[in-house]
Amino acid sequence: MFPNALEQKWGTKAFLERIQAAAHGKYTPRNYSEYEIDLSIMLYELGGGGAVHAMHQSIFALPSLNTLQPHRRQQKTKPCIDRVYLLTISENITTMFGSHEPRGVGSNGSPGICGHNLSFDEIAIERRIEYMPTTDQMAGFCLQHVDALERITVGKDTQAVEAAVEAVKSGRVHIAHETTVGAISHLSGRDYGAKPVFMAPTCKKGSWRDMLESMQAVLEAWRHSPDGEAKHGPILSVCSDGDPGRRDALFMLCMHSEILPGNPLYPFICNLPGFNRRVGHNNVGMDMDYRHEIKRLRALLCSSAGMLAKDVWVNRDLLTSWLERLPNHDWSETTIHTLLDPKDTMNVGQAIKLLLCIAEMRELDVDDFDPSEAAEFEALCLLGEVFDALLQPFINPDFSLSQQIKSLVNFYGDLQATVKAAILMVAKTLDINPRLAVYLCLLGDDPAATFLIAPLPNSGFRFCSAMNLDRVYDLHPELERKPVRLKLVRTRDLDHLRPTQWRGDLVAENCRDIDIHYTAGVEEAEGILRKYSVTDLLRPFGGKYPGISTEIDRSMVNIPTTRATDVDLEIVGRAGSINPICEFDFDSRMAADKSRRDIASHDPHSVFATISSGGQLCHKKAIVRTFFDTPDAHSTHDRLQRVRGFTLGGKSWEREEPLAGGETISPSTHFQLGNLFTTFICYNGTHLGLAVAKSTLIKRGPPGSKSPSISAVPLAELSLSSSPYTFSVSSRLIDPITQKGRREALIFDLEKTNDSTGINFTSEREKTWIFDNTALLNSWYTVKNRVIGDPTLHDKIPVFSGTNDGIFPYQVGLSESFQGTVYAYSIVGTPIADVIANRQTCRICGKRVKDTDRQTHMGQHIRRALRGVPEDSVKIPVQCSDPLASLSF
């Protein structure tokens, strides 16, 4: 009782009353440990007062609500409701980073001077307008269009409120449905949680200029605040989740200056070939969250288009057949369907697992692969090498800082901003303090995302509660449970990789020779490309590299003179140049903000306003709520559901279906997945050619349907004209070898010919297909008789607008003088040509007309009939009284 009296500053009377209450059993004093207090604070922030009261009355006897109040910090930040205020941001920095150090941090492991990360993200809020009595203003309008209002102060009557309602109804102003949050986090092993310093309502319809202004304001406020850079250290990078508008703003902010001799970072990066040396003011760089990059890679792999690697389209259908071959995976629990679900784009855990599975395919046994599978396997191995180099630096806690840089350099050309941020982070830490550790796991907006998604009781105490939780998690990391969708590696005992859990050597001084590790990473990437032959992922189809040039595009004609308003959109390439749009006058902006506040402070106001000519008064909060009462005012939840949604479920992937009557599958009775087949394709519009393809997916139903896939089809059903099965083939057909414009043989191996000149092969294969002429002839006549003899199959022939030169038609040449067998069939003048060209017979004249010309053709018949012009080819006269009755093909 005496420690409680000293801590809570009881007087003599209060102390005697507590003694009497304790003697009668009405008061039970306890000495709680710091851990019990922190546990109760976490319980209160997550479950509310009811949960704390229940645990206080339980056998655990945790602290009560009254005991917790002195220990909870009430850090209330201020939003920018009508414009970006430097003064408001500076006050928020003082609130979050001022002299009131959290318990346990100031005395034990304070971050001190270190680098910082500025992250921007959005959080969902309810669409409603609130009255702020301290400033007599309406809050909740989007920051991008609030200037359309003459004023947001309520005043003495309802005129301002009525004008705001009319502006919202007309669409000139929007009620914000999200809040943009800018948060600063320490790049340190302690106290690395994000702390919000900027909040503004948004409608997500602003331009990149609006986002640039908010970023500049936070950076300048941190640089000039006594509780900012001078006390804690500089901001090293500005991070985003990849928002298109914010990406443009980051480019303008962080790419206008070049690191040249004299810059403190120049000695560390001057020997990095190909490294982008462009940074912003004070060497600020941009960082695109690597988790979002990984999610985009998964979204691309799960799409129908997929990725092109070594002339193989790696998409959802291809991965479906290869994932089943991985050993030690129980796909019944985590199904392939869920792993490849294209709708579940926000799940970081599933994205990491898919990329790791592709990397794991490199260990598959290649002995049983056929030639087509060997080519697909080689493409998957190349992607596996790339994905492994991207993931290991973030998920392997045994990696040292040197190993992380070396691995990430493999991916520099593709995810340049992410890898560049990691290298600059090491160089800037070397400049600040070489003895500091560099935690690449803190790159991206993960601290801000974890902060924004925290489950809190209500929006009024969201940020305050989040800061209390952050303090508890910093002192007791074992209590934190990261949201499932943000986990990198899902294990039973590890939720996510924290800086304290990293075991590798992360001291910046031990990675001082960045150029050595950079060169090693480049050599490793070149070795991978040599191993899997040359594949340029920046230009998979060949041609020129994509890029940005300051030169005038000579392909354009009548180029107008550059306008003065467009000059600020160009990044001048000369050394030391600064884009005018990035200039920021901090002193004048701060003076203007202080002047506005002084004027507002000397303008007394009442919380009541007149609502009638008789002078009847009403509280302004009730007036605002009444005028802006909309049916969907409370339709949204307080949680961020749009940006951080829930995992979409789905049926398990059941490829193997039971056969009726215990039927067995055999090559003689069934066509199985992965088998080869021959078909006709129209490769130039005038000829049909024989093509050999491999089936990668079989479905029962029309193309694009959601019917389940199957592994085998009875040959008896496959031969029916009404067969319901749809086949998907590999991304490339089986191509024969060509030499000097003629076909040596329809083979796919590396056999030498009797030709003295030989064949110069551009690639090597351990296995390949070989087809003799007899087998091809049998397939040719079978397919030809079936397709040409059945008109119902003519519209099902695949038509290609163009193919690689020399591939079609297949040709088996016996000698230089004898052309040999050419597997091509001319369709000129046949019904097949009309079907392929989408031609139909005109009932009036019997002519075959294309689909695009039918309307014009019938219009000519009608026009001649109306004018009395005779037509010799007319078989059925046009009815002039009702010409539409004759419109039929």
Mean pLDDT of 350-364: 89
Instruction: Verify that 829 and 845 share a domain, yes or no.
Output: no
- Please write the tens of the pLDDT for every residue from 171-183: 899 999 888 989 9
Mean pLDDT of 11-21: 87
Instruction: Verify that 842 and 732 share a domain, yes or no.
Output: no
Domain count within the chain: 4
Is the peptide bond prior to 809 cis by the omega test (within 30 degrees of 0)?
Answer: yes
Number of H helices, E strands in the chain: 26, 23
What's the pLDDT band for 880 if we cut at 50, 70, 90?
low
Last residue of a domain, which of 12, 43, 71? 71
Mean pLDDT of 766-792: 81
Selected residue with higher pLDDT from 355 and 244:
355
Mean pLDDT of 70-79: 76
Whether 221 has a pLDDT exceeding 90, the answer reads yes
CB atoms within 10 A of CB 38: 25
- Please write the tens of the pLDDT for every residue from 740-754: 434 444 544 323 333
Q: What is the DSSP string of 574-641?
A: STT---GGG---HHHHHHHHHHHHHHHHTS---SEEE-STT--EEEHHHHHHHHT--TTTT-S-SS--
Any domain includes 199? no
Instruction: Verify that 864 and 746 share a domain, yes or no.
Output: no
Instruction: Verify that 774 and 719 share a domain, yes or no.
Output: yes
pLDDT at residue 661 in the model: 45
Last residue of a domain, which of 71, 87, 103? 71
Mean pLDDT of 798-811: 71
Q: Tell me the percentage of the chain whose pLDDT exceeds 90.
A: 10
pLDDT at residue 88 in the model: 92
Instruction: Verify that 697 and 788 share a domain, yes or no.
Output: yes
Q: Of 77-91, 341-355, 436-450, which range is least confident? A: 436-450
pLDDT at residue 616 in the model: 86
Instruction: Verify that 855 and 810 share a domain, yes or no.
Output: no
- Please write the tens of the pLDDT for every residue from 817-874: 555 678 888 888 888 887 877 777 787 887 878 777 888 888 888 888 888 888 877 8
What is the rounded CA–CA span in Å between residue 309 and residue 381?
Answer: 10
Highest mean pLDDT pick, 72-81, 526-535, 705-714: 72-81
- Please write the tens of the pLDDT for every residue from 205-219: 888 888 999 999 999
What's the pLDDT band for 733 if we cut at 50, 70, 90?
low
Instruction: Verify that 819 and 849 share a domain, yes or no.
Output: no
Highest mean pLDDT pick, 413-417, 457-461, 635-639, 708-712: 708-712
What's the pLDDT band for 544 if we cut at 50, 70, 90?
low
Buried b (16+ CB within 10 A) or exposed e, 479-513: ebebeebbbbbeeeeebbbbbeebeeebebeebbe
Whether 45 has a pLDDT exceeding 80, the answer reads no
Instruction: Verify that 707 and 688 share a domain, yes or no.
Output: yes
Residue 228, amino acid:
G
Q: What is the DSSP string of 563-574?
A: PGGGGGGS---S
291: helix, strand or coil = helix
Last residue of a domain, which of 71, 89, 112? 71
Any domain includes 282? no
What is the rounded CA–CA span in Å between residue 259 and residue 280?
Answer: 10
Instruction: Verify that 864 and 789 share a domain, yes or no.
Output: no
Mean pLDDT of 383-400: 87
Any domain includes 88? no
- Average pLDDT for the chain: 76
**pTM for this prediction:** 0.67
What's the pLDDT band for 266 if we cut at 50, 70, 90?
very high
pLDDT at residue 225 in the model: 92
Q: Which domain holds residue 781?
A: 666-834
Q: Which of 40, 17, 88, 26 is nearest to 600 (CA)?
A: 88
What's the pLDDT band for 739 if we cut at 50, 70, 90?
very low
Whether 468 has a pLDDT exceeding 80, the answer reads no
Any domain includes 93? no
Look at strands 285-288 and 235-240 and give their pairing: parallel
Q: Tell me the percentage of the chain whose pLDDT exceeds 70.
A: 75
- 525 token code pair: 């990437």
CB 390 within 8 Å of CB 412: no
Any domain includes 44? yes
Instruction: Verify that 24 and 67 share a domain, yes or no.
Output: yes
**How far is residue 615 CA from its own chain's centroid?**
56
Whether 126 has a pLDDT exceeding 80, the answer reads yes
pLDDT at residue 161 in the model: 92
Any domain includes 55? yes
Whether 540 has a pLDDT exceeding 80, the answer reads no
Any domain includes 92? no
Whether 440 has a pLDDT exceeding 80, the answer reads yes
Instruction: Verify that 709 and 849 share a domain, yes or no.
Output: no
- Please write the tens of the pLDDT for every residue from 478-502: 676 655 555 555 443 333 566 777 7
CA distances from 446 to 64, 112, 128 (A): 33, 22, 29
Instruction: Verify that 824 and 860 share a domain, yes or no.
Output: no
What's the pLDDT band for 127 if we cut at 50, 70, 90?
confident
Any domain includes 308? yes
What is the rounded CA–CA span in Å between residue 593 and residue 595?
Answer: 5
